[in-house]
Amino acid sequence: MITLTTIADVRAACDAARAAGRRVGFVPTMGFFHEGHRSLMRAARANDDLVVVSLFVNPTQFGPNEDLAAYPRDLEGDTAAAQAEGVDVLFMPTVAEMYPAGARTTVHVDGLTERLCGASRPGHFDGVTTVVAKLFSIVGPSRAYFGRKDAQQLAVIRRMATDLDLPVAVVGCPLVRETDGLALSSRNVYLDGEARQAATILSGSLYLASEAVVRGQRDAAAVRQLIVDTVGNAPQVRLDYVEIVDAATLEPVDELTTDTLVALAAFVGKARLIDNVTISFPAGVPTPDLGVLTASSGMQIESA
């Protein structure tokens, strides 16, 4: 694995690979790697010839009162983890390298960015789409891998790639959870013992909601209320939002009958955490996708 810090060097490495007929796979990250990040690297390693991972804590996707300065970092651990996953190029640019003075261009995806996290984090998705568009342009990947943990981000990036005719396949990968259901996140490091325990109510509420849908509930308001009531009992947890939306357009739905995203955000202790379940309806049968547990093959939902 080589570690590169300049755009020119990454371009040269990716150009050389493509010239030799090798396909480039790309995983954009903000570092502090856990199994979620590593699962994306493994997917890229399995599918592509040159695997490029970017590690850049992108300042433009943080609001003024958010945790940019405190965001956890571990360059040594991350380098070792990327190496262990067979990554070829680790790209760690500085802020000055990514945003030279005079830059005036941003990428904005309309509509999809207004609800869910977009409502409570104004400007966040413009930061995300702008940096991902730049990274796509630098790396030139055939495939780029994103976790379904950030379901809205995935939908927004897919829309951007379609709308801008970007020659990259955007691949969504399973949400990876701790064995007790908590979605892995770099921000879980902010949780002390009690908050960490309390945080399990988030995935627990999504599990209950999924079960209700499997048992026949289709009313979005009722499913939403079930989550609000479940989380409402937990100490240290304050819901930011619970939304039930079309999985592709992110428009609110009244009934769960086609692919639906049930997404929430909550403040738990010092952390703001997100979680979600996507419920699809192959042949009309509700099929929740809660992702995978780190230490087992999957999180099973019992049918009625």
Residues known to be catalytic: 37
Q: Which of 89, 183, 202, 245 binds ligand AMP (CB under 6 A)?
A: 183
Q: Give the distance between the most distant pair of CA atoms in the chain.
A: 59
Asked whether position 40 contacts ligand AMP by CB under 6 A, the answer is yes
Rounded to the nearest whole angstrom, what is the least distance from the CB of residue 285 to ligand AMP in the complex? 25
The binder of ligand AMP chosen from 150, 243, 275, 289 (CB under 6 A): 150
Name the CA dihedral angle for 42, 291, 37, 29, rounded to a multiple of 10 degrees. 120
Q: Which is nearer to ligand AMP, 156 or 220 (CB)?
A: 156
Q: Is 141 in the site for ligand AMP (CB under 6 A)?
A: no
Burial class (CB in 10 A: 0-12, 13-18, 19+), 229: exposed
Under rule CB under 6 A, residue 146 binds ligand AMP? yes
Any idea of the CA torsion for 253, 122, 120, 260, to the nearest 10 degrees?
20
| Piece of 74-82, 91-99, 169-177, 224-232 that binds ligand AMP (CB under 6 A) | 169-177
Mark the segment that binds ligand AMP (CB under 6 A) among 173-181, 205-213, 241-249, 268-276: 173-181
Work out whether 175 is an interface residue with ligand AMP (CB under 6 A): yes
Query: Which residues are paired to 51 by β-bridges?
Result: 25
Site for ligand AMP contains 129 (CB under 6 A): no
Instruction: Return the HEC string of 51-105.
Output: EEEEECCCHHHCCCCCCCCCCCCCHHHHHHHHHHCCCCEEECCCHHHHCCCCCCC
Interface residues with ligand AMP (CB under 6 A) are 29-30, 36-37, 39-40, 146-147, 149-150, 173, 175-176, 183-186
